[in-house]
Amino acid sequence: MTLYSKISDLELHIKKINTETQEKQVSEHFTRRTTTVTISGKEKTGKGEDVIWEAEKHSYPQLNLEGSYSFREFSKMLDDKELFPEDTEYTETDQKYRRWAVESAALDLALKQNNTTLAEVLDKKYSPLRFVVSPSMNEPSIEKLENLIELNPSIEFKLDASEDWTQEFI
């Protein structure tokens, strides 16, 4: 039995879909924008996040997905849905990010409506996760890293090295 087959028959009841876009200026040259997809039904709510990089691609068409489905039926229905406004150019990767934002919100909702967790459905144990911060380091700054460490002494980083970094900074 595949992992997908373990979640595919979960019942899903959708009454309402909303999207909310957030943005943060992370550097002088870059604003990070993400959109949270929220799907509600039967007094439960599921959420997914659209992480497409280009800020201008974060608009959504009206998503008419209300109804009752198995998760498999819902996912199959998305094959025929346009998830971008008509005038938006998008890549295959954009399409995958968008679809997974919607599907992950639906899966989150289906798990809650079926009073279970992903670990239970997949017969897996939860394992601890490590989260890291990936700050923009266009201009190498020890102070920037020290300020983050001061806020959270156990913080860990993922840094993308640049040719501008000096040996001293490294």
> Among 22-31, 96-105, 136-145, which is the least confidently predicted range?
136-145
d(CA 65, CA 75): 11
pLDDT digits (tens, 9 = 90+) for 43-71: 999 999 999 989 899 999 999 999 999 99
Q: What is the pLDDT, as a whole number, of residue 96?
A: 96
Please state, in angstroms and as integers, the Cα–Cα distance from residue 153 to each residue in 26, 128, 142, 144, following that order.
21, 19, 15, 14
How is the chain split into domains, by residue range?
A: 8-122, 128-170
- Structure tokens of 161? 């090295």
CATH number of the domain at 8-122, please?
Answer: 3.30.390.10
The string of pLDDT tens digits covering residues 122-146 is 999 988 888 888 887 777 788 888 9
pLDDT at site 29? 82
Q: What's the pTM value of the predicted model, to 2 decimals?
A: 0.80
